[in-house]
Amino acid sequence: MTEARTQIPDAEEIARLRRARAEKTGRWLMPLLTIALALAIWDRIVVWNEIPHYILPGPGLVARTLVEDWAILGPATWVTLKIAMMALVVAVIGGVSLAVLFSLSRWAEMSFYPFAVILQVTPVVAIAPLIFIYVENRTIGLLLCAWIVAFFPILSNTSLGLRSVDRNLADLYRIYGASRWQRLIHLQLPSALPYFLGGLRIAGGLSLIGAVVAEYVAGTAGIGTGLAFRILEAGYRLNIPRMFAALVLIAVLGVLIFAVLSLISHLALRHWHESALKKES
């Protein structure tokens, strides 16, 4: 009986470990298989229907174009990525600073928060032409457009985190006479970190979208080296494979930005926050 009782937990533990290994493998394998299947279907549709490359190029032609035109697409990728990252950094600095100000002053929140909402709900394609009229430097204009899109998630998530402090801990800090800045540094900011990192992942993708949309709005008046400009240029020349190659690069940039920010979030939360601890269990 004793041996049977000890074998049952061992069997359950082995089954649990197998499920965990299968889930870990499937997390990477299933998306790769799905992408491979989608590419195969795309290729077969082009071949079987004999679709011309200037209407719908096959994945092989797009990959070949990506390699052959890298001298053009590579610098354009760097320009778009640089604008997106600069916008994200400015959004983080501005969003966190305003969120801290709102947490310290209710009057400041009531005064300025509506303007942040207005910037968020107004489409950037409607604001961008005005920005390019009043801002002579096109790089700064593109940066402002991308910043407008990425700013609000940082502000709203960080503000929510600063207000989501455990009331018992807040009362404890008040009982011991902690100042407002001590409560902010030692209690509110650590509590707001998961919310901020969640907003950061959202803002990372939005900053890339803002940079691409701003380049589209700027058109031929833009700086002329971003991926969106290359898509417009390829469209004017009916170079559809280059358009698809630029789109692939934009998608890859978005995935890389999200992956890096997710890794940063995991490293910052893995030792203490439940959302990261559950992933490791």
C-beta contacts of 161-166 below 8 A and 24+ residues apart = 161/188, 161/191, 161/192, 161/193, 161/194, 161/195, 161/196, 162/99, 162/100, 162/102, 162/103, 162/188, 162/189, 162/191, 162/192, 163/103, 164/191, 164/192, 164/195, 165/191, 166/191
Percentage with pLDDT > 70 across the chain: 91
**Confidence check: pLDDT of 89 > 80:** yes
Higher pLDDT, 197 or 122: 197
Cα radius of gyration rounded to whole Å, the chain: 25
pLDDT band of residue 64 (cuts 50, 70, 90) is: very high
Percentage with pLDDT > 90 across the chain: 40
**Confidence check: pLDDT of 279 > 90:** no
Report whether 112 contacts 98 (CB < 8 A).
yes
- Enter the DSSP assignment of 80: H
Query: How many structural domains comprise the chain?
Result: 2
The pTM assigned to this predicted structure is: 0.83
My answer on whether 256 and 208 are in the same domain is: yes
**Confidence check: pLDDT of 1 > 50:** no
My answer on whether 76 and 174 are in the same domain is: yes
Cα separation values, 116 from 100, 103, 211, 275, Å: 14, 15, 19, 29
My answer on whether 42 and 75 are in the same domain is: no
**What mean pLDDT comes out for the span 251-267?**
93
State which amino acid sits at residue 169: L
Q: Nearest CA to 92 among 237, 214, 192, 227?
A: 192
**What mean pLDDT comes out for the span 69-92?**
93
My answer on whether 139 and 197 are in the same domain is: yes
Instruction: Find the CATH number of the domain harbouring 133.
Output: 1.10.3720.10
**Confidence check: pLDDT of 71 > 50:** yes
My answer on whether 7 and 130 are in the same domain is: no
My answer on whether 61 and 26 are in the same domain is: no
State which amino acid sits at residue 111: S
**What mean pLDDT comes out for the span 161-177?**
84
**What mean pLDDT comes out for the span 88-113?**
91
Q: Which domain holds residue 20?
A: 1-50
My answer on whether 139 and 247 are in the same domain is: yes
**Confidence check: pLDDT of 225 > 60:** yes
pLDDT in tens, 10-60: 777 777 777 777 777 777 788 888 989 998 999 999 889 989 988 989 999
My answer on whether 23 and 60 are in the same domain is: no
Report whether 266 contacts 276 (CB < 8 A).
yes
My answer on whether 222 and 255 are in the same domain is: yes
pLDDT band of residue 197 (cuts 50, 70, 90) is: very high
My answer on whether 182 and 207 are in the same domain is: yes
My answer on whether 136 and 269 are in the same domain is: yes
Across all residues in the chain, what is the average pLDDT?
Answer: 85
Alpha-carbon distance of 169 to 146, in angstroms, equals 38
Residue 14's CB is within 10 A of a number of other CB atoms, namely: 10
My answer on whether 221 and 276 are in the same domain is: yes
Environment class of 123 (CB within 10 Å of its CB; exposed 0-12, middle 13-18, buried 19+) = exposed
Domain boundary among 13, 30, 50: 50
